[in-house]
Structure 1
Amino acid sequence: MHAASGRRLGDSHPRQEGPVDLRLVPPALATWGTAAVMLYAPPTLVTGVVVAALLLAGVLLVRRNHRTEPPHAGLGPDGPSPGGTGPDGPGSAGPSPGGPSPDGPGSVGPGPTGRGRAGPGAAPGQGRSRVAGVAVLVCVAAAAGSAGLHGADLRRGPVPELAREYASVTAEVELTADPRLSRPRAGGGMVPPFVLIEADVRRVERAGGGAVVATRAPVLIMVDARAARSGTPWERAGARGAEGSTRWLGLLPSTRLRVEARLAPATAGGDRFAAVLRVRGADGPETVGEPSAPQRLAGRLRAGLRAATDGLSADARALLPGLVVGDTSRVTPELDEAFRETDLTHTLAVSGANFTILLALLLGPPGLAQYAERRGLASRLGLSLRTTALLGGALSLAFVVVCRPDPSVLRAAACGSVALLALATGRRRSLIPALATAVLLLVLYDPWLARSYGFLLSVLATGALLTLAPRWSAGLRGRGVPPRLAEALAAAGAAQAVCAPVVVVLSARVSLVAVPCNLLAEFALAPATVLGFLALATALPALPVAKTLAWCASWPAEWIAQIARTGAALPGAGVDWPGGWAGAALLGALTLVLLPIGRRLLRHPWWCGACALLLVLLVVQPPPLTRAVTGWPPTGWRLVMCDVGQGDAMVLAAGEDTGVVVDAGPDPVPVDRCLRSLGVTRVPLVVLTHFHADHVAGLPGVLRGRSVGGIATTGLEEPADQARFVRRLAADRHLPVTRAVAGERRRTGDLSWEVVWPPPSTGQAPGTWPAPAPPSSVPLPPEPEGPNDASVAMLVRTAGLRLLLLGDMEPPAQRALARSPAADRLADVDVLKVAHHGSAYQDPGLVSRLAPRLALISAGRDNSYGHPAPSTVAALRDAGAAVLRTDRDGSVAVLGDEDGRGGLRVARQ
């Protein structure tokens, strides 16, 4: 038969015939589910599950052995039975009524019903099902035991007990992951940055005396390193005051430290840590044990890659380390948000795609997996199968160490290692068993992966590529789509369809541009990854060569960044969706409904074209069409208060496609969406009233895809980390940053404004407020009590209307403003942007003096601050003002009369 087929004996074909081997899938799923449930289960329940699973497995084995005992060789109770001697000799079964067996002599042929018998009363299918059941039960027992032991680490030993007492301790810890810098948001400001480090406590001693206790408890170390706020973790040289923090950020896994810290309980049921260690890190860490040799080498390689990318553009310098080793420390918030909007974040998380590219260099094209040993560098070098597999194994190990053992990295390396093992032993099978084996082994080794969203997304994407994508690709090719395009479309569509419900759980948003963006990025991902890894490998021995390779890799990296920015900039790039698992279930059900409809549409090209055009219009949302359908934005708008949640963002019309932006809100996405809905593409000036995150964190959204002339800010640069954030963005875009002070007047088109606060001041620290000498007739203003009182306040004139924007000014500054020389010009304004989201801290005298016709309040829905305060809303209404608020009314537009007579109208989105 082999001669007839034209292939050598032992040759295999990449397209295996027959059903997919799914025997390992049930044990893998049982292991995964059991580990996820048992991690926080009490020990008694864990023990009960282990014992019950093993007992039931034993019962199934005993029953199987009993039913499959071979009968006595052709003997009945009293001697040879009829037909006991067959044509093949004594003891053979002989021919059955159904004819000779197709399997050869000595086999059991089919009986009258067409089915053979494995033994008395037992069919072969029943035996196989019992074996499968035993395998599942054994995996359940193993997963429960492993998860129980890992979960017990969170409860046993002295660390959890000391954490419940919030005790101060001296601990010796061993790092288990790379340090990272975190800047979590909190309300209107920013929590001071922390260096976060995962570690195991090896020894612990209560401060002030006590026995040293040896233990092993996973903890999260939080280092209060405020000096780390300047620059990225890798900008060590020249960082003022950052010496201590950069020493923390430069630590490698397996390093042992001695720290003095205060213990605190970890979030119940949410983390894999027994406690949190809060450390004051101004003096840097005290090292008591050096990292291992492999970790030192990996650290040097990663540092070499960063050095090789130092001279590149900002996008390439940020993306290449992320594409190659998952180092995202240089990725700006604006670029990170663009990647999230387009579902391209997987390119920054080292995953199976990166490892597949590396294996393809060694083994050959992934599409010819069964012929892999005859392709790639291995075949060109004449390496044997086993040598190729050993090299692949070494590559897997190096991949994990250099790229860090993140969930997607572990899954990719384990799956590749199983496939390499099959290659070395000559048992080349489908990759589905390899994926199932990888899941099973990894979850048994680290049960916390069972609760990792990254691990779940990685496995789902890989499973979709192995199961759905080939069928979808064949269907597209059958309808005339070119093979390469069909494979790319099928892969992107399958991964998106399977992973989208999980992404909804995390982001409560569905991207409509994910598939085209991933398709376009796919062409650049392979060259960027290959050249990036070559730069990584050559950085230590030959840095100039590495720089050349990194420069070549910068072109595809910049292409990927441009795709992300362009896709995220589209008005309909995504739609809001219910979050949580309920939203995931809803999206999954909708996907199941739409897939058959899409399959039918493929048979009708005209319908496909119409649906594609409708989707393009939904994503692009041309302003004339949007205005005709929704009525937004209203013609003649002069000011729009954007609904950006708990924050401030306003746009002042300044001409065709032009607007002055006052504050940017807490998130780049809402303000960008608001500006796009208004058709604003040119921004002569961005005014940031003060540096709290709910006013400046959305600045990347304002800068995205627009021509910006400059930024004006207050002089009090607090919080300092947010001020640095603004200046860093301005420097990247080469934008001038100026300070707004009282008395400054500006005009652009029909729009004019006057800054009425803060005034020039003396007595401030150098580098904070500008300090020109005020006129002798003007009393010195009070010292600001904080960033809110240093807010920039503006009196705006447009279309015959006067609008007063107060930022977040609080009563001390409001009273000072009422006594300032500008107070006479503030009486009887038309529109008031109420200070500080309508909080209860308002000066009644200023409100009475202003007597606005319309009061606008920007606040987030169901915010925890109680904004706006009922007392403030009541006071404004008592003063005769109509009150509109974004938490209930959405975005609000103020319209003036075309003749400039001061008519006031409003519209809501």
Structure 2
Amino acid sequence: MRRERGAGRGTDAPAPVQRSPPGTWRLLLPAFVTWGMAAWSVAVPGTARWVLVAALLSGTLLVSTAVITRTSVRTAAGIRPRAIGASILLCTMLVVVAARIVSQEHAREDTDLAQAADAAAAIEFRVELAGFPRCSGSDGASRAWVRAEAIVPRGRVPVLLWLSETSDAGWAPGRELRVRGVTSRLPPGGAAYAIRVDTAVLAEPDSARAGLGVLASELRAGLRAAAVRQPGAELVPGFAVGDTSLVTDALDAAMQESSLTHLTAVSGANCALVTGAVVRMLALVGVGRRVRTVCAGIGLGGFVVLVGPDASVQRAAVMAAVLLVSGFGGKRAVAPPALGLAMLVLLGADPWQALQPGFSLSVAATAGILLLAAPISGALHRRAWLPQWLALAVSVAVAAQIACGPLLLLLQPGIPAIGVLANVVAGPAAPFGTGIGLLGLLLLPIDEALGGMAVLLASLPARWVASAAHLAAAMPLARWHWPEGWPGALLLAGCEAMAGLAWGLRRGFLSVPGGRRAPPRRPWQAAERTPRAVRAVAAGLAASSAGLLLGVVLVVPVGERAATPRGWAIVACDVGQGDAVLLRDPAHPELTVLVDTGDDPRLLDACLERFGVERIALLVLTHDDRDHVGALPAISDRIDAALISPTVAGERTELRAVVRQLEAAGVPTRIGGAGDRGGAGGLAWRVLAPNHGGAPTDTNAASLVLLVDAGQARVLMLADTGLEEQSRLLEVGTDLRAEVLKVAHHGSRDQDARLPSAVGAGWALVSVGAGNGYGHPNGDALATLSRAGARVLRTDLHGAIALVPDEGGGLSPWVERAGEPPPEGRSRMSVGSPRVEAWQWARRRSRNSDTTRRARPLWC
């Protein structure tokens, strides 16, 4: 047996430098360059043609150089033939992807679609469905969407169809239909256009793909119906085929908080489970390897038909193949090339994936598992004495979390610290739910009783996962504070990089300046002492990483909470493009009114935590638009009573989503109208519009207009009323005078210019999302407010806004961040710490979820 150099000798032998096998990174590096080029070309239309020309010229030059260069020696220019080969590969992939982008851009600029989108006009055309319809939300949401391809003279254009109601079981991939609807452009990164469908006529299935799609749709519908009949089985369709239409908003929020949403999405684990099950069953009956491989491919194809040919399914299948080939990090020479090949295949199939978060997360998670799972598993097995199977499960979750953490901060604030534990607890149950759920899907058309029994069995792991999600989401410190966006992502990446460098130095993979490195660990000889310089640098990096992590997670939230005012009367929460306003008398802080919830449960919960709101004495839902009621399920256990808007014409009150959600939570609810009033302590409210007995034509016209006295401050809340509703208020002659005006409809241009002068407010609050696509707030509306003497505060510029009564009887503003200079004529605004998610100090007190201890409604 070949002995390692230095084995059996003294410890003075130099440590060998560990190098990667030849060719390990030769495919991965071109894949990342191609990814960057694709993202740039997609984001900047027209760039791809120049990349195509440059890649063709460079590739031609390199091929010519390779032909005349001998492969055994360096060329005169010092370029190795291996480098020439890698460069040719890169140019080839750039040509393929750039050509694909150029051809697709030509099709996407179809004249009819482009003109209809520019004019926001309706158009009729033919489409082919590219997936199964999905609901835009549960708990009463009636809208659905589906991906499709518009068939135009230039080719096929990816579009997104928004449907007024959930489609029937006939809607399946491959099915053609004629649609008519209003078209709008979408930003780069996916579908080119969105169509709000008015009419749709399905054509008869005329292809094998369409027929298979209809069959799959019927099977999915049968599984969904069986899951509805079985309590606790709402996750089973998600486990089996990625159908999450039965998942409630509360469960979905818990799974997001605990990082378990990937269990109900089609992932590489699902694909591996299907192929592994086919291979295992055939092996038991003695089928040969080649036949097993063919049958496994057929089974995987059938699974793809059931779940739909979405980009996420393609990524799952390809990344599953990468993990299986590399053995979860066990074959490191194979892993990087396999990952690079997977990236190139996916980008060649659809270059627009380069800008999709799902592609980035798939690549990051796969790379993290390949590179980090094996060493983390070994360390846990050796040092924490964990069993090998448990160490592998924990290491996979930790590796994926480390790799995806910075990217997730671009999508949501905070670090889901509980996610690793939740995945270890819930993860093993998901394969059972997937396998038994798929078995039930296939048995239901044959024998409904057997299929129902399979769904019942699949509901057991589904309940386990749901319980784990709720428990994890309710634990203290489940989500650590961390800045969101690019600053937060770079900060976390820096922490991880310092920790990784420290680990690499201690293990001898890296050296400090001067070439000194830690000696390799050999079980057959005494451990050598690590050089002092290596120990010092590694300790400094580790301490810096830990200090930065603890400082951001602990110190910053403490300072933020200390900077938040306690004696506030009015708070406009920063919930993005939505409304959520807190009102109270500072002398009676236990009686808080929340007007609307916004659409982001995390942002609303952060605002409530930050301003110390544990229970909501009265929730007012001014109207049913999602940007005003979307976060209701997340706080339904904290509400004592609710006041909702009138039902619009043509809708039944008992079928309204907000009514069903509030009834399910046991919240006393009533419909408001002009003349209604209530309050307690120093808080009083009165509804000014709309009148009782009417049938508003739409949700904005149904908006409740409130006049609220919060201690010494009077606030006029206009909800999403427009010019017509505001003019009617002025014509009635109602006294609208108030110190604070909550500007209607995020500051849109649909305002009555006379109203600000009639109100005479000193402060105008605009709740609006930064960078929204609606042009809110409108410049003319802001100018009208300023001319009327109101000082405008905006959540997109200032974050959360609080108005605090001062000793002189007025109101002093506090803002989360200084978005612009303070209004003239006033002292400088109090500014809190930079915008961050409020830290979870401890688990909510038990009374927050005790619906039996509701306070007396504030309308009494």
Q: Same fold (TM over 0.5)?
A: yes
Give the SS at the match of 1:327: coil
Provide, for residues 39-80 of structure 1, a one-character-per-residue CA deviation record: whole Å limited to 9, x for no partner.
Answer: 765557536624642552464355346x4xxxxxxxxxxxxx
Provide, for residues 735-758 of structure 1, a one-character-per-residue CA deviation record: whole Å limited to 9, x for no partner.
Answer: 454210223233456644333332
Residue ranges of structure 2 left out of the alignment (5+ in a row): 2-17, 507-534, 817-860
Partner of 2:272: 356
Deviation at 1:550, TM superposition (A): 2.4
Partner of 1:650: 581
Partner of 2:446: 541
Instruction: Work out the CA distance in 2 between the residues paired with 1:506 and 1:320.
Output: 27
Q: Does the CA contact (< 8 Å) of 2:436 and 2:458 recur in 1?
A: yes
Structure 1 pair 419–664 and aligned structure 2 pair: CA distance change class (3 A): closer
Partner of 1:97: none
Q: Does the CA contact (< 8 Å) of 2:381 and 2:391 recur in 1?
A: yes
Q: Does the CA contact (< 8 Å) of 2:433 and 2:458 recur in 1?
A: yes
Partner of 1:698: 631
Residue 630 in 1 paired to residue 562 in 2?
yes
Structure 1 pair 884–145 and aligned structure 2 pair: CA distance change class (3 A): closer
Give the SS at the match of 1:652: strand
Deviation at 1:634, TM superposition (A): 0.5
Instruction: Work out the CA distance in 1 between the residues paired with 2:629 and 2:246.
Output: 20
* Selected match of 2:703 from 769, 777, 791: 791
Q: 1:281-320 maps to which residues of 2 (within 5 A)? A: 281-282=198-199, 284-287=201-204, 289-292=206-209, 293-313=211-231, 316-317=233-234, 319-320=235-236
Provide, for residues 295-346 of structure 1, a one-character-per-residue CA deviation record: whole Å limited to 9, x for no partner.
Answer: 3443333223212211244x742x3222321223344555545544544332
Q: Does the CA contact (< 8 Å) of 1:638 and 1:798 recur in 2?
A: yes
Deviation at 1:724, TM superposition (A): 4.0
Structure with more relative contact order (C-alpha pairs < 8 Å, separation 6 or more): 2
Structure 1 pair 505–656 and aligned structure 2 pair: CA distance change class (3 A): closer
Residue 410 in 1 paired to residue 314 in 2?
yes
Q: Does the CA contact (< 8 Å) of 2:62 and 2:88 recur in 1?
A: no
Provide, for residues 445-500 of structure 1, a one-character-per-residue CA deviation record: whole Å limited to 9, x for no partner.
Answer: 55555554423322321222122111122223333352355433322222122222
Q: Does the CA contact (< 8 Å) of 2:116 and 2:123 recur in 1?
A: no
Q: Does the CA contact (< 8 Å) of 1:855 and 1:876 recur in 2?
A: no
Q: Does the CA contact (< 8 Å) of 1:415 and 1:435 recur in 2?
A: yes
Deviation at 1:689, TM superposition (A): 1.6
Q: Does the CA contact (< 8 Å) of 1:326 and 1:349 recur in 2?
A: yes
Deviation at 1:350, TM superposition (A): 0.9
Q: Does the CA contact (< 8 Å) of 2:125 and 2:179 recur in 1?
A: yes
Deviation at 1:812, TM superposition (A): 5.3
Instruction: Work out the CA distance in 1 between the residues paired with 2:479 and 2:603.
Output: 12
Give the SS at the match of 1:518: helix
Q: Residue type matched to 2:403 in 1? A: V
Instruction: Work out the CA distance in 1 between the residues paired with 2:767 and 2:714.
Output: 19
Deviation at 1:658, TM superposition (A): 5.5
Residue 713 in 1 paired to residue 654 in 2?
no
Residue 178 in 1 paired to residue 90 in 2?
no
Deviation at 1:592, TM superposition (A): 0.2
Provide, for residues 551-572 of structure 1, a one-character-per-residue CA deviation record: whole Å limited to 9, x for no partner.
Answer: 3333433443455456556687
More deviation, 409-418/164-173: 164-173
More deviation, 520-529/654-663: 654-663
Give the SS at the match of 2:623: coil
Instruction: Work out the CA distance in 2 between the residues paired with 1:507 and 1:179.
Output: 25
Q: Residue type matched to 1:865 in 2? A: H
Structure 1 pair 339–267 and aligned structure 2 pair: CA distance change class (3 A): same
Partner of 1:140: 90
Cα-Cα RMSD: 5.0
Q: Residue type matched to 1:253 in 2? A: P
Instruction: Work out the CA distance in 1 between the residues paired with 2:755 and 2:109.
Output: 55
Instruction: Work out the CA distance in 1 between the residues paired with 2:501 and 2:312.
Output: 31
Residue 739 in 1 paired to residue 648 in 2?
no
Q: Residue type matched to 1:501 in 2? A: P
Provide, for residues 557-590 of structure 1, a one-character-per-residue CA deviation record: whole Å limited to 9, x for no partner.
Answer: 344345545655668725464535x765554333
Instruction: Work out the CA distance in 1 between the residues paired with 2:767 and 2:467.
Output: 33
Q: Does the CA contact (< 8 Å) of 2:173 and 2:309 recur in 1?
A: no
Partner of 1:255: 175
Give the SS at the match of 1:400: helix
Residue 525 in 1 paired to residue 430 in 2?
yes
Partner of 2:485: 579
Residue 345 in 1 paired to residue 249 in 2?
no
Partner of 1:760: 692
Partner of 1:455: 359
Q: Does the CA contact (< 8 Å) of 1:686 and 1:711 recur in 2?
A: yes
Structure 1 pair 789–461 and aligned structure 2 pair: CA distance change class (3 A): closer
Partner of 1:473: 377
Provide, for residues 752-781 of structure 1, a one-character-per-residue CA deviation record: whole Å limited to 9, x for no partner.
Answer: 4333332335xx4xxx36xxxxxxxxxxxx
Q: Does the CA contact (< 8 Å) of 2:373 and 2:399 recur in 1?
A: yes
* Selected match of 1:46 from 23, 43, 52: 52
Q: Does the CA contact (< 8 Å) of 1:658 and 1:680 recur in 2?
A: no
Partner of 2:837: none
Instruction: Work out the CA distance in 2 between the residues paired with 1:291 and 1:866.
Output: 51
Give the SS at the match of 2:578: coil
Structure number with greater Rg is: 1
Structure 1 pair 521–658 and aligned structure 2 pair: CA distance change class (3 A): farther
Instruction: Work out the CA distance in 2 between the residues paired with 1:475 and 1:263.
Output: 57
Give the SS at the match of 1:310: helix
Q: 1:757-836 maps to which residues of 2 (within 5 A)? A: 757-761=689-693, 764=694, 768=695, 787-788=699-700, 790-797=702-709, 799=711, 802-810=714-722, 813-814=725-726, 816-817=728-729, 823=734, 826=735, 832-836=741-745
Q: Does the CA contact (< 8 Å) of 2:325 and 2:338 recur in 1?
A: no
Instruction: Work out the CA distance in 1 between the residues paired with 2:788 and 2:149.
Output: 54
Residue 219 in 1 paired to residue 157 in 2?
yes
Q: Residue type matched to 1:251 in 2? A: W
* Selected match of 1:593 from 495, 498, 510: 498
Q: Does the CA contact (< 8 Å) of 1:389 and 1:420 recur in 2?
A: no
Partner of 1:641: 572
Q: Does the CA contact (< 8 Å) of 1:256 and 1:290 recur in 2?
A: no
Q: Residue type matched to 1:326 in 2? A: G
Q: Does the CA contact (< 8 Å) of 1:252 and 1:291 recur in 2?
A: no
Give the SS at the match of 1:410: helix
Structure 1 pair 553–883 and aligned structure 2 pair: CA distance change class (3 A): same
Structure 1 pair 324–283 and aligned structure 2 pair: CA distance change class (3 A): closer
Instruction: Work out the CA distance in 1 between the residues paired with 2:350 and 2:707.
Output: 60
Partner of 1:93: none
Structure 1 pair 287–138 and aligned structure 2 pair: CA distance change class (3 A): farther
Partner of 2:241: 325
Q: Residue type matched to 1:30 in 2? A: P
Residue 678 in 1 paired to residue 611 in 2?
yes
Residue ranges of structure 1 left out of the alignment (5+ in a row): 2-17, 68-120, 184-189, 205-214, 234-245, 364-375, 770-783
Partner of 1:237: none
Q: Does the CA contact (< 8 Å) of 1:304 and 1:536 recur in 2?
A: yes
More deviation, 462-471/832-841: 832-841
Residue 395 in 1 paired to residue 299 in 2?
yes
* Selected match of 2:147 from 197, 201, 208: 197
Instruction: Work out the CA distance in 2 between the residues paired with 1:719 and 1:576.
Output: 46
Partner of 2:4: none
Provide, for residues 101-124 of structure 1, a one-character-per-residue CA deviation record: whole Å limited to 9, x for no partner.
Answer: xxxxxxxxxxxxxxxxxxxx689x
Instruction: Work out the CA distance in 1 between the residues paired with 2:49 and 2:811.
Output: 69
Residue 60 in 1 paired to residue 66 in 2?
yes
Provide, for residues 785-836 of structure 1, a one-character-per-residue CA deviation record: whole Å limited to 9, x for no partner.
Answer: x655543233445556655434344565456546769x4xx57656554555
Q: Does the CA contact (< 8 Å) of 2:136 and 2:143 recur in 1?
A: yes
